[in-house]
Amino acid sequence: MLDVDTFLTALYAITDDFYKSRSRKDRPPGPEASLSPSEVVTLAIFARFSRFASERDFYRYAHTQLRGAFPTLPDRSQFNRSVRSHVGLIEEVALHLAEVLVGIDGCPYEALDSAAMPVRDAKSRGPGWLAGYADIGWSNWLGWYEGFRLLVAVSTTGVITGFGFGAASTADQPMAETFFAAREHPSPRLASVGPTTSGCYVADKGFEGSENHRRWLERYGALLVHTPQTQQPQAKLAQATQTMGGRPPPDRGKRLRQALEYLRPSPGAALSTEWFARSFGGEGSIAQLLYPAQRPAWTPPVGFR
């Protein structure tokens, strides 16, 4: 693994060469900035690569450890403003780094997945500072959260080849639709999705749907492979009906009432847990039914209703 100095030097060299090849000759009006655009982009990408806990944590490290490489490092608030003013350039450099790391031959496939991006507590009152953009959605890792949903495409070597985000309540399928459309028809407003490197994507069951897969392949040339789809409840019901000779399966509530009728054993009699396992298919139902059945008989106190 490269040390920090070597990594920063290589990152700055690639960023500066890319910036000089893409930048315009005219300079924006105003005083000269303390950091050049190449230095701002280098520090911004390095802050994400090293997985600092926060912006304050990164700036504290840069202020104490990187003064030799960046002697004109400004105040933290001014540095954050510089990063926000170079967002477009940061996206271009990130995609350029992905092309360099993936190589000319590309990759055989890309992994496509989404992740939660919380911006504040979902239980907080008020519209928040991102009203109209962020909303409340569900994450298997965080539960209910307020923020955005990030969609990322990753190569076989772990390089992020494209990304985009939407509101937290947005499902994976419409986000993938926009992602594939933006790759097929590039737009300056959605440059972060990056170019198509393979055309084949591997995803989880959140992207399932045969109609979606057929449309994505026909319109955008995106072949999506995901885990086998589980059997639908309607198919299970039809299979159970066919197994029973065309008769509909018994009502679960009726079976439960019948089971409660059997749960009146004589004193000292033991209940058959195997019968409950065959009837209800789980130990949770057994525990719930055995508890009221095995309670000893008792006489309520006087005056108790």
- Bridge partners (DSSP) of residue 15 are none
Tell me the average pLDDT across 108-113: 90
The interaxial angle of helices 87-102 and 76-85, nearest 10 deg, is: 70
Tell me, what's the pLDDT at 209? 87
- Bridge partners (DSSP) of residue 139 are 143
Instruction: Report the C-alpha gap between 8 and 46 in whole angstroms.
Output: 7
Residue 117 contacts residue 147 (beta carbons within 8 Å):
yes
pLDDT in tens, 186-217: 888 888 888 887 779 999 888 888 899 999 99
Tell me the average pLDDT across 261-266: 50
Q: What is the DSSP string of 51-77?
A: T-SSHHHHHHHHHHHSTTT-TT---HH
Tell me, what's the pLDDT at 173? 93
pLDDT in tens, 14-28: 999 999 887 655 556
For 1-10, 28-37, 177-186, 196-205, which range has the lowest pLDDT when averaged over its residues?
28-37
Domain ranges of the chain: 4-93, 105-226, 245-293
Q: Which of 39, 43, 37 is nearest to 85 (CA)?
A: 37
Structure tokens at 139: 């994450």
Residue 113 contacts residue 121 (beta carbons within 8 Å):
no
Q: Which fold has domain 105-226?
A: Nucleotidyltransferase; domain 5 (3.30.420)
Q: How many whole angstroms from its chain centre is CA 219?
A: 25
